[in-house]
Structure 1
């Protein structure tokens, strides 16, 4: 349980960058993710929640593990988009490492290709509500 406003770091591991564009939409005035007291941070060392999108492959696997280890505990991981949830269109590639939850414990899934800003906000807020229990 975290007793402060959640700090979130977003990381993208390759793909079409559609989820990255939707994250940018979620923080614009139209959706304003920060109105819920959520702070976006660029450094995972400061984050409570790590939102991961994109396909994990052989080359990015070690980078993912290093980034996850930098997020202080208790930490929460969100798999965002089809690539992170199921491996996406690259899942049958020779160097795909498959879904994110085969690599690290995932606390929330935000589906979509790409995930829509409303879904991103809804998923993050549902994860935060779980902290209160």
Structure 2
């Protein structure tokens, strides 16, 4: 994590007492630095997320100090831990209740691929029920890795076009998950 990027003002034109830039860049900077995560934690990765929220790692310096426990008030779903197949529809419902724009991080081996639990009852990756933007590897991942995943989501949010979510490609992706 030695290559942490400083938050820069969007490129534009500045002069005596003013700064002008494009609307897309200002919105991207605001989205990237004010993510409201919804932690969906079921096992040991959730404990590592708690460490990430603590003062030693301080997730609030990345604009995510307010975890949301209501899908309607969150824009980042962080799925951490083993997800049973019976929980798959719940994860999907939580995702559908989130307002656009929304992003998903699969934290840990279990959320990404089922981990060591290759059984009939464990979902072999949450990407089978919701689209995932960033995968954080590890069993469990260290807090630094969770912060790296958050910074990748920030980069997505900063550079995402305001019109991407309305594109045909994105709508086809959502329709493959039966999400409207």
- Relative to the length of structure 2, the TM-score reads 0.67
Q: Distance in 2 between matches of 1:43 and 1:66?
A: 12
Q: Distance in 2 between matches of 1:111 and 1:93?
A: 20
| 2:85 corresponds to 1:58 | yes
| Cα RMSD after superposing both structures | 1.5
Task: Identify unmatched segments of 5+ residues in structure 2.
Answer: 1-26, 160-180
Q: Distance in 2 between matches of 1:45 and 1:128?
A: 20
| CA shift for structure 1 position 60 | 0.8
Bigger RCO of structures 1 and 2 (CA < 8 A, at least 6 apart): 1
1:6 to 35, 38, 46: 35
Which shifted more, 112-121 or 40-49?
A: 40-49
Instruction: Determine if contact 1:55/1:98 at 8 Å carries over to the other structure.
Output: no
- Relative to the length of structure 1, the TM-score reads 0.89
Task: Identify unmatched segments of 5+ residues in structure 1.
Answer: none
Instruction: Determine if contact 2:75/2:102 at 8 Å carries over to the other structure.
Output: yes
> What do residues 81-105 of structure 1 show as CA deviations (whole Å, max 9, x unaligned)?
0001111121x21122311112211
